[in-house]
Structure 1
Amino acid sequence: MNKAFNMEVFLAGVLTGSHATRHRHLRQAKMIQAEIADRWQQETPWAWQRKHVAWFLEHHLGRRSEATRYYYILTMRLLARRLEKPWKFN
């Protein structure tokens, strides 16, 4: 039996800021994970490619406000830092 992936433990080394900021990043990272797992069947961030995260930005956040997109991009930067990937998002 596989254990569920724990996003909080995964991001623990790169999360900084206030409690509310850390909570927002965790909530958004879990949302990104759930959408990518649903669409691409990639359960953990270790299996993600840049196209998966770019798809989330384009299709899931396409109609959201610029402010919402900005906060998700900040979370995606944390994920990229944790994965040690050179991903850049606009």
Structure 2
Amino acid sequence: MSKRFDMDLFLAGVLSGSHATRQRHVRQAKIIQAEIAQRWQRELPWAWQRKHVVWFLDHRLARRCKVTRYYYLLTVRLLVRRLEKPWILKCQTKIR
């Protein structure tokens, strides 16, 4: 019997800020995880490659507003920091 992956616990070490901000990052990370798992059959973040994350940012968020894409990029950066990967992800969106 396998346990479900706990995204709250996974991100606990890199989360900071207000309670609402932390909850938003966890919620968005769960959405990212579900989308990558559905498309690529990669359940755990340790199995992700850079192409999976870039696919999510480029294809699943393509029709979202700039602010939404920016907030998801912030969550992805937290995931990358937690995974200790050297990935550089650039945002096409400039927020002013």
Task: Give the TM-score normalised by the residue count of structure 1.
Answer: 0.98
Residue in structure 1 matched with residue 3 of structure 2 by the alignment: 3
Displacement of 1:87 in angstroms is 1.4
1:40 aligns with 2:40: yes
Residue in structure 2 matched with residue 78 of structure 1 by the alignment: 78
1:1-90 correspondence to structure 2 within 5 Å: 1-90=1-90
Q: 1 CA distance for matches of 2:72 and 2:23?
A: 13
Identity of aligned residues (%): 72
Q: Can you give the 5+ residue segments of structure 2 that lack an aligned partner in the other structure? A: 91-96
Q: Can you give the 5+ residue segments of structure 1 that lack an aligned partner in the other structure? A: none
Q: 2 CA distance for matches of 1:89 and 1:46?
A: 17
- Larger of the two Rg values belongs to structure: 2
The alignment's C-alpha RMSD in Å is 0.6
Task: Give the TM-score normalised by the residue count of structure 2.
Answer: 0.92
Q: 2 CA distance for matches of 1:25 and 1:17?
A: 10
Residue type of the partner of 2:62? G
Runs of 4+ with deviation above 3 angstroms? none
**Equivalences, count:** 90
Residue type of the partner of 2:9? V
Residue type of the partner of 1:85? K
Q: 1 CA distance for matches of 2:49 and 2:58?
A: 15
Q: 2 CA distance for matches of 1:89 and 1:64?
A: 18
